[in-house]
Chains A and B, each alone.
Chain A
């Protein structure tokens, strides 16, 4: 969850995936993850196909697999949880290396791992090829309410500033010997958080004044009229269709 590396989420390249309009990419990403999530877990072959598709996207996007792997660490806690399941789950068991593991549990572990990793990978490719403000613009084109997208836009703009202020405060605090290990020592952090909220709020007021000063009258002007072309939509839908066919085949055959 390192927001200080938000520019490290995006990989600066010029690939076909990068060039694709954001709204098409968001729809494709979402759709792909949904299809993966509804695929029955027994159809292991289907997940192999999905993995190949995602790998293909990674290559097409000129993103390195190492990059994807590092970002996948975000799902690590759930991987750990999933690995525990066969040990704590109920149901009939099977002997593996002298341990009694629940069969259902093993399938469940597979299910979670496959879907979580694949889902996260799709998300990672999306962010590697689309800058966050563009993702937000794409959401707006997809009829997400403008109140939502404009708040999101401001959030993204000021995130690094605020994260840095918070980091600096904590640094200042720890350089004065503050090393909290127990919750009772959390008071200074909380006060710092409260003070930061006030400062952030006051900045919000100033930003609004700046917006008014440049003629803002309540609706954000639309600065970018670009829209996805028919062929871009075709590319996105063909990807989804392929995945859909795989999922249907999996559902029918299991």
Chain B
């Protein structure tokens, strides 16, 4: 995935991205960190063409993100939104998971098969016949992930995946993400999650990427964190995680 010189401003004039360059190799897991308003979500929405840059380019593999290509781009990039309720808009979870592949033209038995395997990948077979508003936060999160997996993507982009999860939910999430052999971009405020999941991290501030490197190295730089309004949780000791 390649983002080059992307700039973007909102209709009311606010500049959100001021020249972003990012390259993510296949199979990498990259965390995107930064203060509120840095442009993280805006960047994510460029990755599947919901937003188009005013200048610069985005391409996913060999597919440039342009009007004519959007269906293919959206198959390759699966976006998991911050609020799962926004992603579960059909009467039943089964219908939501089927929505994506159905839009790609998959029908009949093959559609059912895709739904089944997507739900199995998140241990969510039991959720199929339930309506979204009856699910717990963690169940919704898993269902939302399934809706995206059903499209057989190459890249997964997560916007604050641990935001409404309790401890067990978080553990399940990490396990699920570690088990998925796909390129992953994880936007998060949850620094321990970033550390646990992503070997590489970038920090965004005011529409630009200001740091890019090894996650542990970035989190160990107290000045860097302070500059970008990031803070390790109370009592969290990086040193305590030194592996042998």
Give the B-binding residues of A (Cβ under 8 A).
7, 131-133, 153-154, 156-158, 160-161, 203, 206-207, 209-217, 221-223
Contacts and interface: CB of A to CB of B under 8 A. Distances in A.
Contact of B86 (A156, A207, A222): A207
Which of B89, B95, B104, B134 has the largest number of chain A CB atoms within 10 A?
B89
Contact of B100 (A161, A215, A217, A222): A215
Nearest to B104: A215
Interface stretch (B75-83, B181-189, B231-239): B75-83
B103 A215 contact: yes
B91 interface: yes
Given A206-B81, A210-B86, A214-B148, A221 B103 contact: yes
Interface of B: 45, 48, 50, 71, 74-75, 77-79, 81, 83, 85-87, 89-92, 95, 98-100, 102-104, 131-134, 147-148, 151
A207 B134 CA distance: 18
B103 to A, nearest CB: 3
* Main DSSP-derived SS at the B contact region: helix
Contact of B74 (A133, A161, A203, A212): A212
Given A153-B91, A214-B148, A161 B99 contact: no
B86 A161 contact: no
Contact of B83 (A156, A158, A206, A212): A206
Given A161-B133, A217-B103, A210 B87 contact: yes
Contacts of A222: 102
B91 A213 contact: no
Contacts of A209: 45, 50, 81, 86
Contacts of B147: 214
A155 to B, nearest CB: 11
Contacts, number: 76
A214 B74 contact: yes
Nearest to B47: A213
Nearest to B85: A161
B103 A157 contact: no
B79 A154 contact: no
A211 B45 CA distance: 13
Given A221-B102, A221-B103, A223-B99, A210 B71 contact: no
A228 to B, nearest CB: 19
26 contacts: A154-B89, A157-B89, A157-B90, A157-B132, A203-B85, A206-B86, A207-B87, A210-B79, A210-B89, A212-B50, A212-B74, A213-B48, A213-B50, A213-B74, A213-B79, A214-B99, A214-B100, A214-B103, A214-B151, A215-B71, A215-B100, A215-B103, A216-B103, A217-B103, A222-B102, A223-B99
A204 to B, nearest CB: 9
Nearest to B108: A225
Nearest to B144: A210
A92 to B, nearest CB: 55
